Amino acid sequence: MIHAYCIIFVFQLLSLTGAMESSIVGGKVAKPHSRPYMASLQIREHHTCGGILIRKDFVLTAAHCKYAEQTTVVLGAHDITKEEKSQQRIEAEYIPHPQYTGKFDYDIMLLKLKKKATLNKYVKTIGLPKKDGKIPANIKCAVAGWGLTGDKKRTMSDVLRETKEEIQDSDECENIWKTHFKSERMLCTTFTKRDGGVCQGDSGGPLICNTKPQGITAFTDLKDCNNPEHPHVFTKIHFFLPWIKKVMQG
């Protein structure tokens, strides 16, 4: 039996516990501010999940990134351990998809920012894919996030890291993930151990294909996120475009 796990960062009281820190395993350090749409979701100044800025007042992320506590969205960051002049810190309201049950399906959420972000060279929105857009298999897409780098010391990266993963055929994903995988609402990717990819805690970050975000990081194998036999799974954004549009229209 495969143990899937929503890749979340566990936050308990004042301490961060467990081996679920956010991470891109392997990969490389991103050029500072080359992904100005990236958001770091933080509780008490600790990074919990990723997200993307899709309008001045909305960030798109995963529904399992919802906590009982207030989330602060940090925009314009490269090194999340520093108070960079480029950073904007804005509190946000959770709006998870109404059909999300805490499992794997419908794992998508909007964050309504309590004040609009100021757009500049460090902070920019990213456009969403078209409703009927097809994503061909076997194209390489980018993923990005903050955290563990996959070294033996399990040290976290203070700066944004990125790598590439390849779109996998849905039939293969269904064969491996069985009932966890819903091809209508999910995408999955293949990757190599050398190049790595998303891991526990990269939740909510984007899968960028041909400059457009096509997926939101959702779940991977609990025991070994860097095992290429178990594809990484992403919530398919274009399926949820009507819901996103409805929420943003108020």
Query: Is the model's pLDDT at 142 over the cut of 60?
Result: yes
Query: What is residue 187's DSSP assignment?
Result: E
Query: What is residue 232's DSSP assignment?
Result: E
Query: 82-125 pLDDT, tens per residue?
Result: 999 999 999 999 999 999 999 899 999 999 999 999 999 999 99
Q: Please provide the average confidence, as pLDDT, over all residues in the chain.
A: 86
Which residue bears the tokens 């800025």?
53
Query: Is the model's pLDDT at 65 over the cut of 50?
Result: yes
What is the predicted pLDDT for the residue at 18?
28
What residues are paired with 52 via a beta bridge?
38, 60
Please enumerate in sequence order all residues whose Cβ is within 8 A of that of 103, keeping only pairs 6 or more positions apart, or say none: none
Q: What is the mean pLDDT of residues 180-209?
A: 90
Contact (CB, 8 A) for 49 and 57: no
Cite the active site residues: 64, 107, 203
Q: What is the 3-state secondary structure (H, E, C) of 154-165?
A: CCEEEEEEEEEE
pLDDT band at 131 (very low <50, low <70, confident <90, very high): confident
Beta strands, E only, the chain? 4-6, 11-12, 15-16, 24-26, 28-29, 38-43, 46-55, 58-61, 71-75, 88-96, 109-113, 140-148, 156-167, 186-190, 196-198, 206-209, 212-221, 232-236
What is the predicted pLDDT for the residue at 222?
75
Rounded-to-10 torsion of CA 103, 105, 106, 110? 50
How far, in Å, CA of 187 to CA of 139, rounded? 12
How far, in Å, CA of 100 to CA of 98, rounded? 6
* Backbone φ and ψ of 238, nearest 5°: -65, -20
